[in-house]
Structure 1
Amino acid sequence: MSCRNSLLAVASAAIAAVALAGAASAGALEFGRPASPDEIALWDIDVSPDGRGLPKGSGTVARGKAVYAEQCAACHGTDGTGGLKDRLVGGQGTLASDKPVKTVGSYWPYATTLFDYVRRAMPYQAPGTLGVDDTYAVSAYILSLNGIVAGDATLDQASLPRVVMPNRDGFVPEPEFRNVTNSR
Protein backbone atom coordinates (compact mmCIF):
# COMPACT_ATOMS: atom_id res chain seq x y z
CA MET A 1 0.00 0.00 0.00
CA SER A 2 1.41 3.40 -0.92
CA CYS A 3 1.93 6.15 1.62
CA ARG A 4 -0.90 8.13 0.01
CA ASN A 5 -3.31 5.21 0.22
CA SER A 6 -2.32 4.61 3.85
CA LEU A 7 -3.07 8.23 4.71
CA LEU A 8 -6.41 8.02 2.94
CA ALA A 9 -7.30 4.84 4.84
CA VAL A 10 -6.35 6.39 8.19
CA ALA A 11 -8.28 9.59 7.39
CA SER A 12 -11.35 7.60 6.32
CA ALA A 13 -11.24 5.52 9.50
CA ALA A 14 -10.90 8.65 11.65
CA ILE A 15 -13.86 10.33 9.95
CA ALA A 16 -15.98 7.21 10.40
CA ALA A 17 -15.02 6.96 14.08
CA VAL A 18 -15.91 10.60 14.72
CA ALA A 19 -19.24 10.20 12.92
CA LEU A 20 -20.13 7.08 14.91
CA ALA A 21 -19.09 8.67 18.21
CA GLY A 22 -21.15 11.78 17.42
CA ALA A 23 -24.20 9.71 16.55
CA ALA A 24 -23.87 7.58 19.67
CA SER A 25 -23.41 10.52 22.01
CA ALA A 26 -26.00 12.87 20.47
CA GLY A 27 -28.77 11.45 22.60
CA ALA A 28 -26.57 11.00 25.65
CA LEU A 29 -25.59 14.64 26.05
CA GLU A 30 -28.94 15.66 27.48
CA PHE A 31 -27.93 19.28 27.12
CA GLY A 32 -30.65 21.89 27.18
CA ARG A 33 -34.30 21.26 26.42
CA PRO A 34 -36.62 21.55 23.45
CA ALA A 35 -37.77 25.10 22.80
CA SER A 36 -41.41 25.83 23.61
CA PRO A 37 -43.77 27.09 20.89
CA ASP A 38 -43.78 30.52 22.57
CA GLU A 39 -39.97 30.65 22.52
CA ILE A 40 -39.88 29.65 18.87
CA ALA A 41 -42.46 32.33 18.03
CA LEU A 42 -40.14 35.01 19.45
CA TRP A 43 -37.54 34.15 16.79
CA ASP A 44 -39.95 33.32 13.98
CA ILE A 45 -39.99 36.83 12.55
CA ASP A 46 -38.96 36.30 8.94
CA VAL A 47 -40.90 38.19 6.29
CA SER A 48 -41.43 36.85 2.78
CA PRO A 49 -41.45 39.04 -0.34
CA ASP A 50 -45.22 38.54 -0.59
CA GLY A 51 -45.68 39.89 2.95
CA ARG A 52 -46.22 36.62 4.80
CA GLY A 53 -44.82 37.11 8.27
CA LEU A 54 -45.46 40.85 8.48
CA PRO A 55 -46.88 41.77 11.87
CA LYS A 56 -49.91 43.96 12.51
CA GLY A 57 -49.09 47.61 12.90
CA SER A 58 -48.49 50.67 10.76
CA GLY A 59 -46.21 53.63 10.34
CA THR A 60 -46.24 56.98 8.54
CA VAL A 61 -43.52 58.76 6.65
CA ALA A 62 -43.75 61.64 9.15
CA ARG A 63 -43.17 59.33 12.13
CA GLY A 64 -40.42 57.58 10.19
CA LYS A 65 -38.61 60.87 9.65
CA ALA A 66 -38.52 61.49 13.41
CA VAL A 67 -37.39 57.93 14.23
CA TYR A 68 -34.80 58.05 11.45
CA ALA A 69 -33.36 61.32 12.75
CA GLU A 70 -33.01 59.81 16.22
CA GLN A 71 -31.93 56.27 15.38
CA CYS A 72 -30.48 56.17 11.84
CA ALA A 73 -29.07 59.51 10.69
CA ALA A 74 -25.82 59.19 12.65
CA CYS A 75 -24.81 56.25 10.45
CA HIS A 76 -26.69 56.85 7.19
CA GLY A 77 -26.73 60.65 6.97
CA THR A 78 -29.64 63.01 7.48
CA ASP A 79 -31.18 62.25 4.09
CA GLY A 80 -29.98 58.68 3.58
CA THR A 81 -26.72 59.72 1.94
CA GLY A 82 -23.37 60.89 3.21
CA GLY A 83 -23.27 58.87 6.39
CA LEU A 84 -20.58 56.59 7.75
CA LYS A 85 -22.49 53.47 6.72
CA ASP A 86 -24.28 52.37 3.56
CA ARG A 87 -26.07 54.91 1.44
CA LEU A 88 -29.82 54.25 1.42
CA VAL A 89 -31.08 56.73 -1.16
CA GLY A 90 -30.52 57.35 -4.87
CA GLY A 91 -28.80 55.32 -7.52
CA GLN A 92 -31.86 54.59 -9.66
CA GLY A 93 -30.77 53.87 -13.21
CA THR A 94 -27.11 53.24 -12.31
CA LEU A 95 -27.07 49.45 -11.97
CA ALA A 96 -26.13 48.86 -15.61
CA SER A 97 -23.47 51.58 -15.53
CA ASP A 98 -19.73 51.28 -14.86
CA LYS A 99 -20.34 52.69 -11.36
CA PRO A 100 -23.57 51.25 -10.01
CA VAL A 101 -24.93 52.80 -6.83
CA LYS A 102 -26.67 50.06 -4.87
CA THR A 103 -29.21 51.49 -2.44
CA VAL A 104 -32.60 50.50 -1.09
CA GLY A 105 -34.14 52.49 -3.92
CA SER A 106 -32.01 51.22 -6.76
CA TYR A 107 -31.10 47.66 -5.87
CA TRP A 108 -33.45 46.03 -3.36
CA PRO A 109 -36.19 44.00 -5.06
CA TYR A 110 -38.86 44.01 -2.32
CA ALA A 111 -40.05 46.59 0.20
CA THR A 112 -40.76 43.75 2.62
CA THR A 113 -37.02 43.02 2.67
CA LEU A 114 -36.43 46.54 3.96
CA PHE A 115 -38.89 46.01 6.81
CA ASP A 116 -37.36 42.61 7.64
CA TYR A 117 -33.80 43.97 7.65
CA VAL A 118 -34.60 47.06 9.73
CA ARG A 119 -36.57 44.94 12.20
CA ARG A 120 -33.73 42.43 12.69
CA ALA A 121 -30.55 44.47 12.34
CA MET A 122 -31.22 48.12 13.06
CA PRO A 123 -30.43 50.41 14.68
CA TYR A 124 -26.79 49.40 14.58
CA GLN A 125 -26.15 50.16 18.25
CA ALA A 126 -29.22 48.21 19.42
CA PRO A 127 -30.48 45.79 16.75
CA GLY A 128 -34.07 44.67 16.97
CA THR A 129 -35.16 47.32 19.43
CA LEU A 130 -37.47 49.33 17.18
CA GLY A 131 -41.13 48.54 17.69
CA VAL A 132 -43.26 47.26 14.84
CA ASP A 133 -44.90 50.64 14.20
CA ASP A 134 -41.54 52.44 14.17
CA THR A 135 -40.14 49.81 11.79
CA TYR A 136 -43.04 50.42 9.39
CA ALA A 137 -42.46 54.16 9.81
CA VAL A 138 -38.71 54.03 9.10
CA SER A 139 -39.40 51.82 6.08
CA ALA A 140 -41.98 54.33 4.83
CA TYR A 141 -39.55 57.21 5.30
CA ILE A 142 -36.68 55.49 3.47
CA LEU A 143 -39.01 54.52 0.63
CA SER A 144 -40.30 58.10 0.42
CA LEU A 145 -36.74 59.48 0.29
CA ASN A 146 -36.25 57.23 -2.75
CA GLY A 147 -39.46 58.51 -4.39
CA ILE A 148 -41.08 55.06 -4.17
CA VAL A 149 -43.97 56.02 -1.88
CA ALA A 150 -45.62 59.40 -1.36
CA GLY A 151 -44.46 61.74 1.38
CA ASP A 152 -47.74 61.25 3.23
CA ALA A 153 -47.81 57.43 2.93
CA THR A 154 -48.78 55.04 5.70
CA LEU A 155 -47.47 51.49 5.45
CA ASP A 156 -48.81 48.36 7.11
CA GLN A 157 -48.95 44.61 6.52
CA ALA A 158 -51.41 45.04 3.64
CA SER A 159 -49.81 47.98 1.83
CA LEU A 160 -46.09 47.22 2.22
CA PRO A 161 -46.09 44.07 0.03
CA ARG A 162 -47.88 46.04 -2.72
CA VAL A 163 -45.03 48.56 -2.99
CA VAL A 164 -43.30 47.94 -6.32
CA MET A 165 -39.58 48.50 -6.04
CA PRO A 166 -37.69 49.83 -9.11
CA ASN A 167 -35.48 46.73 -9.26
CA ARG A 168 -38.19 44.17 -8.50
CA ASP A 169 -37.54 42.33 -11.77
CA GLY A 170 -33.76 42.75 -11.59
CA PHE A 171 -33.18 39.49 -9.75
CA VAL A 172 -33.53 36.23 -11.65
CA PRO A 173 -33.43 33.12 -9.50
CA GLU A 174 -31.17 30.25 -10.43
CA PRO A 175 -33.15 27.54 -12.27
CA GLU A 176 -33.06 25.17 -9.29
CA PHE A 177 -34.81 27.79 -7.11
CA ARG A 178 -37.52 28.93 -9.54
CA ASN A 179 -40.09 26.37 -8.41
CA VAL A 180 -39.33 26.40 -4.70
CA THR A 181 -42.37 27.17 -2.58
CA ASN A 182 -42.42 28.40 0.99
CA SER A 183 -43.76 25.72 3.31
CA ARG A 184 -45.23 28.18 5.83
Structure 2
Amino acid sequence: MSHDDVAKWDLTIFPDGRGLPPGHGTAKEGRQIYERQCASCHGDEGQGATAEELVGEPTPPSVDIPSKAIGSYWPFATTIFDFIRRSMPPAAPGSLSADQIYAVTAYLLAANKIIGDSDEINAQTLPKIRMPNRDGFIPIDVKK
Protein backbone atom coordinates (compact mmCIF):
# COMPACT_ATOMS: atom_id res chain seq x y z
CA MET A 1 0.00 0.00 0.00
CA SER A 2 1.19 3.46 -0.82
CA HIS A 3 1.21 6.43 1.59
CA ASP A 4 -1.73 7.90 -0.36
CA ASP A 5 -3.73 4.66 0.04
CA VAL A 6 -3.14 4.69 3.79
CA ALA A 7 -4.06 8.40 4.04
CA LYS A 8 -7.53 7.65 2.64
CA TRP A 9 -8.20 5.34 5.59
CA ASP A 10 -6.41 7.36 8.27
CA LEU A 11 -9.48 9.16 9.61
CA THR A 12 -8.33 9.33 13.22
CA ILE A 13 -9.74 12.26 15.16
CA PHE A 14 -8.34 12.91 18.61
CA PRO A 15 -10.15 14.57 21.53
CA ASP A 16 -8.06 17.73 21.03
CA GLY A 17 -9.30 18.05 17.45
CA ARG A 18 -6.27 16.71 15.60
CA GLY A 19 -7.57 15.12 12.40
CA LEU A 20 -10.77 17.18 12.07
CA PRO A 21 -11.32 18.32 8.48
CA PRO A 22 -12.29 21.83 7.35
CA GLY A 23 -16.00 22.51 7.44
CA HIS A 24 -18.77 23.83 9.67
CA GLY A 25 -22.38 23.26 10.63
CA THR A 26 -25.24 24.36 12.86
CA ALA A 27 -27.99 22.51 14.69
CA LYS A 28 -30.61 23.98 12.34
CA GLU A 29 -28.82 22.49 9.31
CA GLY A 30 -28.20 19.27 11.19
CA ARG A 31 -31.84 18.71 12.13
CA GLN A 32 -32.80 18.44 8.46
CA ILE A 33 -30.05 15.91 7.81
CA TYR A 34 -30.91 14.01 10.99
CA GLU A 35 -34.56 13.74 9.95
CA ARG A 36 -33.57 12.29 6.54
CA GLN A 37 -30.62 10.11 7.54
CA CYS A 38 -30.90 9.22 11.25
CA ALA A 39 -34.44 9.44 12.66
CA SER A 40 -35.63 6.14 11.21
CA CYS A 41 -33.18 4.30 13.48
CA HIS A 42 -32.59 6.72 16.36
CA GLY A 43 -36.10 8.17 16.70
CA ASP A 44 -37.59 11.53 15.76
CA GLU A 45 -36.04 13.26 18.78
CA GLY A 46 -33.06 10.96 19.33
CA GLN A 47 -34.96 8.92 21.91
CA GLY A 48 -33.93 5.63 20.33
CA ALA A 49 -35.81 3.22 18.09
CA THR A 50 -34.09 0.28 16.38
CA ALA A 51 -30.77 1.91 17.35
CA GLU A 52 -29.52 3.48 20.58
CA GLU A 53 -30.90 6.65 22.09
CA LEU A 54 -28.78 9.71 21.32
CA VAL A 55 -30.52 12.37 23.40
CA GLY A 56 -30.90 12.25 27.15
CA GLU A 57 -30.36 14.20 30.34
CA PRO A 58 -26.78 15.49 30.65
CA THR A 59 -26.02 13.54 33.81
CA PRO A 60 -23.38 10.79 34.00
CA PRO A 61 -24.70 7.25 33.83
CA SER A 62 -25.26 5.36 37.06
CA VAL A 63 -26.57 1.98 38.14
CA ASP A 64 -30.05 3.48 38.33
CA ILE A 65 -29.78 5.46 35.06
CA PRO A 66 -27.44 3.52 32.72
CA SER A 67 -28.00 5.77 29.68
CA LYS A 68 -25.26 5.97 27.08
CA ALA A 69 -26.90 8.92 25.31
CA ILE A 70 -24.50 11.58 24.03
CA GLY A 71 -25.27 14.09 26.78
CA SER A 72 -24.79 11.66 29.63
CA TYR A 73 -22.05 9.35 28.43
CA TRP A 74 -19.75 10.58 25.69
CA PRO A 75 -16.62 12.29 27.07
CA PHE A 76 -15.56 14.28 23.98
CA ALA A 77 -17.57 16.10 21.33
CA THR A 78 -14.98 15.15 18.71
CA THR A 79 -15.93 11.49 19.22
CA ILE A 80 -19.43 12.22 17.93
CA PHE A 81 -18.00 13.62 14.68
CA ASP A 82 -15.57 10.70 14.41
CA PHE A 83 -18.28 8.06 14.91
CA ILE A 84 -20.67 9.63 12.41
CA ARG A 85 -17.88 10.03 9.85
CA ARG A 86 -16.77 6.41 10.12
CA SER A 87 -20.05 4.57 10.39
CA MET A 88 -23.18 6.58 9.63
CA PRO A 89 -25.58 6.15 8.01
CA PRO A 90 -25.20 2.36 8.33
CA ALA A 91 -26.16 1.66 4.70
CA ALA A 92 -23.68 4.24 3.37
CA PRO A 93 -20.90 5.03 5.84
CA GLY A 94 -18.61 7.78 4.62
CA SER A 95 -21.29 9.27 2.37
CA LEU A 96 -21.82 12.48 4.38
CA SER A 97 -19.68 15.54 3.70
CA ALA A 98 -17.67 17.20 6.47
CA ASP A 99 -20.22 20.04 6.57
CA GLN A 100 -23.08 17.56 6.95
CA ILE A 101 -21.26 15.74 9.74
CA TYR A 102 -20.53 19.00 11.57
CA ALA A 103 -24.21 19.93 11.20
CA VAL A 104 -25.52 16.60 12.55
CA THR A 105 -23.00 16.78 15.38
CA ALA A 106 -24.21 20.30 16.20
CA TYR A 107 -27.82 19.10 16.15
CA LEU A 108 -27.07 16.25 18.54
CA LEU A 109 -25.11 18.52 20.89
CA ALA A 110 -27.93 21.08 20.89
CA ALA A 111 -30.58 18.38 21.40
CA ASN A 112 -28.60 17.30 24.47
CA LYS A 113 -28.49 20.93 25.67
CA ILE A 114 -24.70 21.10 25.45
CA ILE A 115 -24.57 23.92 22.88
CA GLY A 116 -27.13 26.45 21.70
CA ASP A 117 -29.35 25.91 18.67
CA SER A 118 -27.59 28.65 16.70
CA ASP A 119 -24.00 27.78 17.67
CA GLU A 120 -21.80 26.88 14.72
CA ILE A 121 -19.22 24.17 15.17
CA ASN A 122 -16.07 23.57 13.17
CA ALA A 123 -12.56 22.15 13.63
CA GLN A 124 -11.65 24.95 16.05
CA THR A 125 -14.82 25.06 18.18
CA LEU A 126 -15.74 21.37 18.41
CA PRO A 127 -12.75 20.30 20.56
CA LYS A 128 -13.43 23.17 22.98
CA ILE A 129 -16.88 21.87 23.91
CA ARG A 130 -16.83 20.47 27.42
CA MET A 131 -18.99 17.37 27.63
CA PRO A 132 -20.81 16.68 30.92
CA ASN A 133 -19.08 13.29 31.40
CA ARG A 134 -15.59 14.32 30.31
CA ASP A 135 -14.12 13.34 33.67
CA GLY A 136 -15.88 9.97 33.68
CA PHE A 137 -13.10 8.32 31.66
CA ILE A 138 -9.36 7.88 31.95
CA PRO A 139 -7.81 9.49 28.85
CA ILE A 140 -5.42 7.60 26.62
CA ASP A 141 -3.67 9.49 23.85
CA VAL A 142 -0.99 8.35 21.47
CA LYS A 143 0.69 11.39 19.93
CA LYS A 144 1.45 11.12 16.24
TM-score (norm 1): 0.74
Deviation at 1:113, TM superposition (A): 0.4
| Residues matched between the structures, number | 144
Q: Secondary structure at the match of 1:47?
A: coil
1:138 is aligned to 104
- Provide the secondary structure at the position in 1 that maps to 2:71: coil
Shift of 1:153: 1.2
Contact map agreement 2:87 2:93 (CA 8 A) in 1: yes
Q: Quick one: structure 1 residues 172 and 183, their matched pair in 2 at CA, closer, same or farther if it must change by over 3 Å?
A: closer
Percent sequence identity is: 47
Q: Which amino acid aligns with 1:172?
A: I
Q: Say which one has the larger Rg.
A: 1
1:118 matches 2:118: no
Kindly report the root-mean-square deviation, in angstroms, between the aligned alpha carbons of the 2 structures. Answer: 1.4
Segments of 5+ residues of structure 2 without an aligned counterpart are none
Say which SS state the counterpart of residue 88 (structure 1) adopts: coil
Structure 1: how far apart are the matches of 2:98 and 2:123? 10
Deviation, 1:182, is 2.4
1:103-158 CA-partner distances (Å, limit 9, x unpaired): 11100000000000000000112111111100000000000000001000111000
Ranges of 4+ aligned residues in structure 1 off by more than 6 Å: none
Structure 1 residue 94, shift from structure 2 partner: 5.5
Q: Distance in 2 between matches of 1:171 and 1:82?
A: 24
On the 8 A contact 1:91/1:100 being kept in 2, the answer is: no
Equivalence map 1:85-164=2 (5 Å): 85-93=51-59, 95-164=61-130
